[in-house]
C-alpha cells in the first residue's frame, strides 16, 4: 500500500469524525479567504477612487466611517488650489445607488475634462455620461436615458478613462448629484493634481497641516486612516481568524489524539517490525494535514461564495468587489497547514513515547 493510501485508509476509519473535524477547519479557511478577498478588493477600489480623474491623490474628511461618507465643503477646493505645489483641484461627489456608482463632477475641472468621449458628445445641462464598461453591461448608448433614484437623465455620450472603477460608473453634474444626495455644498473628496516637479507625498502632508480635519490619501494602504469601518472589519476579522486557528487546532488535536489512542496496538506492531519514531510521526502529521487539505478545498469554495454574497448584498456593494489574488489563497493554504501541524503536535508526541512492549500490551 502506498503512503497516501495508508493515510486515506486511516482517515476513513471514522468518516463522521473526520468529516466534522474537516468542516470546522473549513469554516476557518472560508473566513480567512472571504475576509482577505474583500479587504484586497477594498484596497483595489481605494486605489481607483483616490486617482479618479488621473489625480495624484485625494483629500478626504478625517475620521469618516467610509470613503463615501467623507464630507468636505466644496469651497475648500479653491483654498487648496492656492497652496504651493497644487496645479489643479477637482470637486467630486461619489454617490452609491442601487443602480451603481454615480460620480458628480464639476464641468471645467480636470476630472471632467480628462474623460475621453468614445460615443456621442460631452454633456450639457443635467445630461449624463456613461462609462464604457457600464454601457456594455447595461447595453446603453448615447441618446438613451438612465434612472438614478426617482429621476431619469438623458445620456449624452459614453466615456473611457482606463480606470475600471470609473468606467463602470455614471457621471452627472456635481449640482445634480448633490441634490440627489441631499447634501448641497458638500463633496466627498477633493482630487488634487500636483505641479510639475512637486512630490505628491510632500504636498499631501502640507495640506493636512494647513487644513486640520482633512486626510490626504496618496496610497491605497492609507485608506484605513480615514475609513474606520474598514479598520474595524480588518481588526475584528484577524481576531476571529486567530480564534478559528486555535479552535481548529484543538479539533484536529482531539481527532488525532483519539485516533492514536484507538491504534496503540497497531503503532506497537509498526514499531516492532522496524518503523522508526520519525516515520510514525510522519504518519500522524500526514493524517492531520490530510484532514486540513480536505478542509482547504471546501473552505476555499465557501470563502469564495461568502465574499460574493457579501458584496452583492452589502449597502456599499459596488465599492466592495472581492479580489481573489494568489496571496488570498496562499493565506488560506497557510491557515489549513498551520492547523494541521498545530493539531498533530500532541498526538505525535504521545505516539512516539510509546514503546513497542507497552503498546502491544494495550487492550
Same domain, 244 and 347: yes
Residue 104 lies inside a defined structural domain of this protein: yes
Same domain, 258 and 203: no
Same domain, 209 and 106: yes
Q: In DSSP terms, which residues pair with 93 in a beta bridge?
A: 104
Residue 87 lies inside a defined structural domain of this protein: yes
Report the 10 Å Cβ neighbour count for 261. 12
Per-residue pLDDT of the chain (363 residues; tens, 9 = 90+): 677 777 777 777 778 878 888 888 888 888 888 888 877 776 666 666 767 777 888 898 887 766 777 899 999 999 999 999 999 999 999 888 766 789 999 988 999 998 999 999 999 989 999 999 999 989 999 999 999 888 899 999 999 988 877 888 899 999 999 999 899 999 999 999 999 889 999 999 999 999 999 988 877 555 555 455 555 666 666 777 777 777 777 877 887 777 777 777 777 777 777 778 788 888 888 888 888 888 888 988 988 888 888 766 655 555 566 778 888 888 888 888 888 888 788 878 877 776 666 655 655
- Provide the grid cell at 5: 493510501
**How far is it, in rounded angstroms, from Cα 11 to Cα 2?**
14
Q: What are phi and psi of 154, to 5 degrees?
A: -75, 135
Residues 6 or more apart whose CB falls under 8 angstroms from that of 201 comprise: 218
Domain boundary among 166, 185, 217: 217
Q: Over 160-173, what HEC string results?
A: ECCCHHHHCCEEEE
Query: Could you tell me how many residues make up the chain?
Result: 363
Same domain, 186 and 248: no
Residue 282 lies inside a defined structural domain of this protein: yes
Same domain, 169 and 302: no
CA angle, 304 as apex, 302 and 309 as ends, to 5°? 90
Residue 120 lies inside a defined structural domain of this protein: yes
Specify the number of domains making up the chain.
2
Same domain, 243 and 332: yes
β-strand 186-187 against 72-73: which pairing, if any? Answer: antiparallel
Residue 203 lies inside a defined structural domain of this protein: yes
Same domain, 356 and 261: yes
pLDDT of residue 234: 62
Same domain, 313 and 357: yes
Contact 67, 60 (CB under 8 A): yes
Residue 222 lies inside a defined structural domain of this protein: no
Residue 225 lies inside a defined structural domain of this protein: no
Same domain, 32 and 132: no
**130 lies in which domain range?**
57-217
Domain boundary among 169, 186, 217: 217
Same domain, 35 and 86: no
Same domain, 204 and 80: yes
Q: pTM for the whole thing?
A: 0.63
What is the dihedral sign for C-alpha 180, 90, 48, 60? negative
Residue 51 lies inside a defined structural domain of this protein: no
**How far is it, in rounded angstroms, from Cα 145 to Cα 20?**
54
pLDDT of residue 284: 83
β-strand 170-173 against 100-105: which pairing, if any? Answer: parallel
Same domain, 271 and 314: yes
Domain boundary among 217, 244, 265: 217
Amino acid at each position: 500500500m502506498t503512503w497516501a493510501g495508508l493515510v486515506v485508509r486511516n482517515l476513513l476509519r471514522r468518516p463522521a469524525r473526520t468529516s466534522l473535524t474537516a468542516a470546522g477547519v473549513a469554516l476557518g479557511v472560508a473566513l480567512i479567504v472571504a475576509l482577505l478577498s474583500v479587504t484586497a478588493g477594498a484596497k483595489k477600489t481605494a486605489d481607483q477612487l483616490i486617482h479618479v480623474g488621473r489625480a495624484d491623490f485625494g483629500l478626504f474628511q478625517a475620521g469618516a466611517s467610509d470613503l463615501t461618507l467623507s464630507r468636505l465643503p466644496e469651497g475648500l477646493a479653491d483654498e487648496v488650489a492656492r497652496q504651493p505645489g497644487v496645479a489643479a483641484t477637482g470637486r467630486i461627489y461619489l454617490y452609491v445607488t442601487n443602480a451603481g456608482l454615480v460620480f458628480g463632477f464639476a464641468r471645467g475641472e480636470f476630472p471632467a475634462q480628462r474623460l475621453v468621449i468614445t460615443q456621442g458628445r460631452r454633456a450639457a445641462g443635467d445630461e449624463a455620461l456613461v462609462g464604457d464598461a457600464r454601457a456594455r453591461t447595461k447595453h446603453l448608448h448615447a441618446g438613451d436615458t438612465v434612472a438614478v433614484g426617482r429621476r431619469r437623465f438623458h445620456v449624452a455620450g459614453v466615456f473611457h478613462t482606463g480606470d475600471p472603477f470609473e468606467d463602470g460608473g455614471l457621471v452627472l453634474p456635481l449640482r445634480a448629484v448633490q441634490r440627489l444626495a441631499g447634501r448641497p455644498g458638500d463633496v466627498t473628496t477633493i482630487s488634487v493634481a500636483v505641479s510639475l516637479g512637486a512630490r505628491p507625498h510632500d504636498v499631501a502632508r502640507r495640506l493636512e497641516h494647513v487644513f486640520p480635519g482633512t486626510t490626504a490619501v496618496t496610497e491605497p494602504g492609507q485608506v484605513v486612516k480615514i475609513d474606520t469601518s474598514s479598520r474595524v472589519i480588518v481588526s475584528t476579522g484577524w481576531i476571529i481568524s486567530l480564534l478559528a486557528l486555535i479552535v481548529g487546532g484543538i479539533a484536529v488535536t482531539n481527532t488525532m489524539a483519539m485516533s492514536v489512542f484507538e491504534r496503540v496496538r497497531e503503532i506497537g506492531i509498526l514499531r516492532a517490525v522496524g518503523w522508526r519514531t520519525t516515520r510514525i510521526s510522519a504518519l500522524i502529521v500526514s493524517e492531520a494535514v490530510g484532514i486540513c487539505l480536505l478542509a482547504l478545498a471546501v473552505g476555499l469554495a465557501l470563502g469564495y461564495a461568502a465574499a460574493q454574497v457579501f458584496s452583492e448584498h452589502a449597502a456599499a456593494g459596488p465599492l466592495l468587489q472581492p479580489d481573489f489574488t494568489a496571496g488570498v489563497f496562499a493565506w488560506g493554504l497557510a491557515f489549513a497547514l498551520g492547523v494541521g501541524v498545530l493539531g498533530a503536535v500532541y498526538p505525535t508526541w504521545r505516539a512516539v513515547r510509546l514503546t513497542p512492549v507497552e503498546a502491544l500490551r494495550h487492550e
